[in-house]
Amino acid sequence: MDAAFVLLLGGSLVRFLTRDAGDNRTGWILALFLVFGVLYLLGRFWAPAPRRGGRPTTRYLLWLGAVLAVWVVLLALVPSATWCAMPLLFTGLHNLPVRTAVPLAAGLTALVVASEVRVSTGVFNPNLVIAPVAIGAVATAVLVHSRRQTARQRLLIDDLFRARRELAAAERQAGILAERQRLSAEIHDTLAQSLSSQQMLLQAAERLWHTSPEAARGHVRDAAEIAARGLAEARRFVRDLAPPDLAESTLVPALRALAEREDRPGLAVAFRLDGTPGALPERVETALLRVAQGALANVREHADATRAALTLTCVDDRIAVDIADDGRGFDVRRAPRPGPGRTRGHGLPAMRLRARQAGGTLTVESAPGEGTTVTVSVPLAPDSAGKDTP
């Protein structure tokens, strides 16, 4: 725009010097050309244009008014100054509101037509009126349409950025909730279960301390072993690594070791393997082991069972872990739910969450007096998605 203005101003000056110069006004007109050009160019720095969609500043309006006033005077003295109308037209249309820019364009076009008609000689040429009006109308229509399109695009971009911010906030909140659930499940399956076992063993040791010291000391030793494993779990949990049982072995030895640890007087726990598991993703092994730990902890604490079976079943497209007991069972539909003020009822939701995160399903079968069977099944297909089975 500025380069076009300089070229057209130079063309107007050359036309004036070659055709109209020679009278006593030449010096004043040359000075006016200089003032016009300097005022236009300096105003681009002294009075910057408003941002798109913004209101023009007072300084910008003063500058634009001064430039137009000088141009009108120059147009009255030198008709060739009409060539500079186009940069002024574009400047006004680009940077002024539409309701101001359109009347400005009409006024500039009328001045150009009046100047052309004033200096015309001979037979009247209608193009002197039609051409400026047509060019001004086309330029005005194109630029107004462009500004409206730009405004729409700006709104769309703003909506897009706002939607992206809202999406990022929603994803962040979902990530926070998912991480809280994961941490809740980790704490329940590690620290809470370990502390619960220690509490039960220490309470049993306290009851037997005077009547059966040897058995009481055995309970204390078991509690110490559980505390040591819980400490290892806590340290591993802080580093967000796999369970200690999986750090140096695979799922089958880890489940077998879990069954051996839970096999104590009063509760016989047997491990069975059906099939041969292949290499499993770490998240699947962790989920299956954690569900087995949580289910056996529930058996020990709530089921009042004498026998439990931990079974790992491997088929071509699925791997499953079953934990069955001969305890008192319960009504699955009336199972306690976690909530504010509740210290119980977190085990099954935590197991369901782990199964879902591994892409599998969790099924709980139980009835009062008929024992309980907890089954977690994970498909081995990479595109399988998990659901919860009530």
Tens-digit pLDDT profile for residues 220-246:
888 888 888 877 777 666 555 556 666
- Measured N-to-C along each axis, helices 85-95 and 2-15 cross at an angle, to the nearest 10 degrees, of 160
Structural domain contains residue 197? no
> The CATH number of the domain where 316 resides is what?
3.30.565.10
Judging by DSSP bridges, how do beta strands 307-314 and 268-274 pair with one another? parallel
pLDDT computed for residue 319 by the predictor: 92
Whether the predicted model's global pTM rises above the 0.85 cut? no
Q: Where does the chain have alpha helices with state H?
A: 2-15, 26-46, 58-77, 85-95, 98-119, 127-187, 193-208, 213-238, 244-247, 251-262, 282-298, 347-357
| Host H or E run for residue 309 | strand 307-314
Distance, in Å, from the CA atom of 135 to the CA atom of 205, rounded to the nearest integer, reads: 102
Q: How many domains does the chain have?
A: 2
Structural domain contains residue 49? yes
The range of the structural domain enclosing residue 328 comes to 249-390
Distance, in Å, from the CA atom of 380 to the CA atom of 275, rounded to the nearest integer, reads: 14
pLDDT at residue 265 tops 80: yes
Cβ–Cβ < 8 Å for 313, 319? yes
Residue 9, phi then psi, degrees to nearest 5: -65, -40
Residue whose entry in the numeric block shows the structure tokens 């059966």? 212
CB atoms within 10 A of CB 306: 11
Structural domain contains residue 149? no
Same domain, 121 and 254: no
Share the mean pLDDT of the chain. 79
Residue 321 DSSP symbol = E
pLDDT computed for residue 387 by the predictor: 42
Structural domain contains residue 169? no
pLDDT computed for residue 82 by the predictor: 75
Closest CA to 293 of 251, 330, 325, 259: 259
Last residue in a domain, options 95, 125, 155: 125
Structural domain contains residue 207? no
Last residue in a domain, options 74, 101, 125: 125
98 Cβ contact list (under 8 Å, min separation 6)? 144, 147
Asked which of 48-52, 57-61, 329-333 is least confident by mean pLDDT, the reply is: 48-52
Same domain, 253 and 389: yes
How many Cα atoms are found within 13 Å in the side-chain-facing hemisphere of 314? Answer: 14
Read off the pLDDT of each residue in 290-298 and give the average, rounded to a whole number.
Answer: 88
Last residue in a domain, options 65, 99, 125: 125
267 forms bridges with which residues in the sheet? 264
